[in-house]
Amino acid sequence: MQTVILAAGQGTRMRPLTERRAKPMLPVADRPLSAHTAKTAVDAGASRLIIVVGYESDAVCEFFGDEFAGVPVEYAEQTEQRGTADAVRAAESHLDDGPFAVLNGDALYDEPSLTRLYEQAPAVGSYRVADPTQYGVLYTAESDGDTRVTGVVEKPADPPSNRINTGAYVFPAEAQAWLEVGESERGELELTDVLERACEESTVAAVPFERWLDVGRPWELLEANEWKVGELTRTLRGEVHEDADIRGDVVVEAGATIDAGVVIEGPALVRRGATVGPNAYIRGHTVVGNDAKVGHSVEVKNSVLMAGATVGHLSYVGDSVLGRDVNFGAGTTVANLRHDDEAVKTLVKGELTSTGRRKFGVVCGDDAKTAIQTSLNAGVKLDCDATTTPGEVVLRDKSE
């Protein structure tokens, strides 16, 4: 199955993490987000990949090259982000005359469900959620025990069901001629208009996905890492001190160093060139990225430290995402829990938004730096290159 992966967007809801990189290249466990999408597609039956690139495209092309997971890779450029139908139209010249799949490069799909999607073409992936008002919701009908899609409505106030569109499609070959769509109410060229046409012209199966995650905001990047780090199996290839205590499914890559007195409770991943300790504590689906440093008596819980990030001694980091080359001074403390036990809120495109998480810490853009004894409140963002002063208490964002 020829598969188009959409990876051109800027990911503004993920700022400041996407200020200097494409959202599909954000790290999830041991590879970029879009690489998980691509690998799942190949395992499900993709015969070749056409990746639509745009924002920070060089990094995407450099990572995937001409071949990925044994299948050829081609690239199409979306020069202006005008919507999903426009993105697929950019890839049209790379498609042959057969059916084609379309996947979002910033979403995670489980392989068995994606395999069923490919097998039941034409089809669209569906997923049940508690609150469908923030998604595209599918209209469906039952026929001989099968569920088919009859239409889709975007973010309805009164949803027809809780079955939402996962952004995973397999279209018939003739759908290539349907990509010339008009602008939606949002001013975009929407692939859902192509889905509506497919529903009119043929029977489109609604394939339920067992697991799916749209990774659009920083706390969803944490959730993505919880998913993929949770799939790792214990592998210790780096240098682990005899006095370190490694518990459960922990991966220490070759070139990483775990010093004396360190306790790591899996699942966790320590990447090449990283150093941990002495006397540090790592737990809860944590990723310590390439060449990152976790110092003396530091605790890191359920967090992502991107490449080159440093957490100085006597610090605490919980439920947080630290960008490349972030440097936390000694004694930096992250708050990750509200006293009223309500979900932590954070700014997304200038609007205070609930993360839906009882525990959520901070998000730091690349090269942000804290001085000694800095305290960061739950939900705070530090923009790229942001700094604090010694003893500063940061209650609101230094971003946006």
Kindly tell me if the per-residue pLDDT of 328 is higher than 90: yes
Query: Does residue 310 or residue 149 have the better pLDDT?
Result: 310
Distance CA 9, CA 143 (A): 37
Residue 201: per-residue pLDDT: 87
Kindly tell me if the per-residue pLDDT of 143 is higher than 80: no
Q: What is the pLDDT of residues 215-255, one digit of tens each?
A: 999 999 999 999 999 999 999 999 999 999 999 999 999 99
Phi, psi of 113 (to 5 degrees): -70, -40
3-state helix, strand, coil in the chain (%, to 5): 20, 35, 45
Q: Average per-residue pLDDT in the chain?
A: 93
Token pair for 34 = 């879009």
Query: Does residue 130 or residue 305 have the better pLDDT?
Result: 305
Distance CA 267, CA 283 (A): 7
Kindly tell me if the per-residue pLDDT of 292 is higher than 60: yes
Residue 340 CB partners (closer than 8 Å, separation 6+): none
CATH topology of domain 232-394: UDP N-Acetylglucosamine Acyltransferase; domain 1 (2.160.10)
pTM (two decimals): 0.93
Token pair for 398 = 């230094």
- Where residue 263 falls among pLDDT bands split at 50, 70, 90? very high
Place of tokens 């829990």: 337
Q: Work out the average pLDDT over 280-302.
A: 97
- Where residue 85 falls among pLDDT bands split at 50, 70, 90? confident
- Where residue 400 falls among pLDDT bands split at 50, 70, 90? very low
Q: Work out the average pLDDT over 328-337.
A: 97
Q: What is the pLDDT of residues 380-397, one digit of tens each?
A: 999 999 999 999 999 976
CA dihedral 231, 233, 237, 242 (to 10 degrees): 120
Cis peptide before 112 (omega within 30 of 0): no
Give the start-to-end residue ranges of the domains of the chain.
2-216, 232-394
Q: What is the pLDDT of residues 188-203, one digit of tens each?
A: 677 888 888 888 888 8
Q: What is the pLDDT of residues 20-67, one digit of tens each?
A: 999 999 999 999 999 999 999 999 999 999 999 999 999 999 999 999
Q: Which of 242, 248, 294 is nearest to 270 (CA)?
A: 294
Q: Which of 246, 215, 257, 250 is nearest to 229 (CA)?
A: 250
Residue 177: per-residue pLDDT: 86
Class of domain 2-216: alpha beta
Q: Helix and strand tally (H, E) in the chain?
A: 6, 39
Kindly tell me if the per-residue pLDDT of 184 is higher than 90: no
Annotated catalytic sites, by residue?
313
Which residues are registered as beta bridge partners of 53?
7, 77
Phi, psi of 158 (to 5 degrees): -125, 85
Residue 398: per-residue pLDDT: 62
Q: Work out the average pLDDT over 1-28.
A: 93
Phi, psi of 197 (to 5 degrees): -65, -40
